[in-house]
Structure 1
Amino acid sequence: MADKEEILIVNKNNKKKHGHAHGGAWKVAYADFVTAMMALFIVLWVLSQSEEVKKAVASYFKDPSKFSIINLENSSGIKNSAIDLNFIANKSVDKEAQKAQFEKLKKDIQKELAKNTEFESLLKQIEFQMVDEGLRIEMLESANNVFFEVGSAKLNPEAEKILLKIGNEIKSLPNKIIVEGHTDARQYNQNIRKDYDNYFLSTDRANAARIALEAGGVSDKQIDEIRGYADKRLRDKKDPYNVVNRRISIIIKYLER
């Protein structure tokens, strides 16, 4: 009797069916985890910032509608994108308030100078203008009245007295002060001094004005910058040799928050 062959039958369709791997629950858990980590990093970042930034962030959550995203510099000098406490709006309000104060200062200085009949012919040469940095007081030379002799950084007596008066009026201000010197396009006479030019001359004139301001009561701590522009900031660009290009500018800077 012949041996019977065993037949092995494989059922390929006999697979165990599983459910959908817990559905989408893991995605929700992962999203919660990421959110928690982000919140942790924000808290750690805020704790490392200055008090101003902390107050800014806290104020944002009280009323987000009044705030804007700007760049703030933290105590380590690294710039970060942060939400500031109504900074832009407040800065604008502060600037307007300071403009009003500068307007009063302008009138006070003009009134004080007008008391001295010696300055009567010079008052038209002293101009006040609001600029991006603050209030600019500009002393312009004229054909009839100059504050410095040609090629010299020595103030004449009238100009020095005016600066003393201005110094006395601004000495109590908390604002920083910039003093600028300007020349016309006439080049410095190299026969007098070869290692000297209009940059040196304009800077020396600005320094002469600074010394007069300090003699009037301005403190060294108030002085922020001394600038010598030579003839690179001409007032009369059509006539580079016009005497009005020779001037001293005193800029009282806006206070920074």
Structure 2
Amino acid sequence: MATNPASAPLIIIVRKKKRHGGHHGGAWKVAYADFVTAMMSLFIVLWLLNSSQEVRKAIGGYFQDPTGKGRQIGSGMAGSGDALQVSKSDMGQIKEKLQQAVKQAVALEKSRDHVQMTVTGEGLRIEMLETSAGLFFQSGSGEPTETGRELLATLAAELGKLPNRLMIEGHTDSTPYKGVANYSNWELSADRANAARRLMEETGLRSDQVQQVRGYADQDLRTPKTPGDASNRRISIIVKYDMLPPDPDPPAAKTIQTEPNRKAGLPRPPSPTSQQPASPLAAPNARS
């Protein structure tokens, strides 16, 4: 049977030409960009390995805080290497260096167990804990012993290298001071703190590095359950965190008034803990 050509279906064959769009579709550009980025990263790493410690710390400060709100050098904040922020991890390294310096001092071999270092919220706290016989200061006196002088000089040589400010505190136990009229634990604690400051400034500290000198007497006991323990008699040196920002919302100051002051409408006088009395040294036969 013959087929009618008019009713046969029309078959259309479309032949597409394969073309290489933009040199293989541009995929080579992505690979080349990755290669260039990798090479640039390699050159930066090689450069950093040959850079100084200050440069590496500056670069690290930027990547830790790229917004420029941090306190590390290199973060975009005005200043130089002298405005270095010491973090808790840095304080840990400072602690290790100080401990190593104390260990290397032959004269301090018997007193190492009486030097405690702790990283706290305010900085690195170094405590010189006394013994009943008087290890770092002569009994009942603000005069350092040879061991005390050696330790303070060792600490000053290391701390003087830092940009951080220091606070020096003097503490006593709760036993009342006897032997000299108008001289108490308040004067003794302040005299010992000031003696430590003077010696450390002579052996390594900058003249403006000590920010505060405090005498606490027995108002901040290390072992409150045993107020008469010798370890309560101590010198505390606090290495403060550098350049801490001010509190944006400081708490409102509260004025505590005594009963006579309330009647007169006068504020309470300042606490003697911040005073630095220039009192004569006590006799050696008094308690420490």
Q: Answer yes or no: same fold by TM over 0.5.
A: yes
Per-residue CA deviations over 1:172-212 (Å, capped at 9, x if unaligned) read 211110000000011111xx321111111100000011112
Q: Which has the higher strand share?
A: 1
- TM-superposed CA distance for 1:108, in Å, is 1.1
| Residue 171 of structure 1: aligned partner | 160
The DSSP-based 3-state class of the residue aligned with 1:255 is coil
Deviation at 1:118, TM superposition (A): 2.0
SS across alignment from 1:100: helix
Match of 2:203 in 1: 216
- Please tell me whether residue 121 in structure 1 is matched to residue 86 in structure 2: no
- Please give the alpha-carbon distance, in whole angstroms, between the structure 2 residues aligned to 1:212 and 1:183: 20
SS of the residue aligned with 2:189? helix
The aligned counterpart of 1:196 is 183
Question: What is the percent sequence identity of the aligned residues?
Answer: 36
Q: Deviations over 1:15-43 (max 9, x none)?
A: xxxxxxxxxxxxxxxxxxxxxxxxxxxxx
TM-score scaled by length of structure 1: 0.61
Distance 1:248 1:97 in 2: 23
Partner of 2:92: 103
Q: Structure 1, residues 99-146: CA drift from partner, whole Å, max 9, x if none?
A: 122111111111112112221111111111122221111111124662
The letter for the 1-side match of 2:196 is A
Q: How many residues align?
A: 169
Partners of 1:179 and 1:143 lie apart in 2 by 22
Is the 2:102–2:112 contact (alpha carbons within 8 Å) kept by the matching residues of 1?
A: yes
Contact map agreement 2:107 2:150 (CA 8 A) in 1:
no
Question: 8 Å contact 1:166–1:216 — kept in the other structure?
Answer: no
Give the whole-Å Cα distance in 1 for the aligned partners of 2:162 and 2:86. 15
CA distance in 2, matches of 1:183, 1:252: 21
Provide the aligned C-alpha RMSD in A.
Answer: 2.4
Unaligned runs of 5+ in 1: 1-65, 67-84
Q: 2:224 is matched with which residue?
A: 237
Secondary structure at the aligned position of 2:167 is classed as strand
Select between 127-136 and 243-252 the one with higher mean Cα deviation: 127-136
What letter corresponds to residue 181 of structure 1 in structure 2? G
After TM superposition, the score normalised by the length of structure 2 is 0.54
Aligned to 2:236: 249
Instruction: Give structure 2 stretches of 5+ with no counterpart.
Output: 1-64, 76-83, 245-288
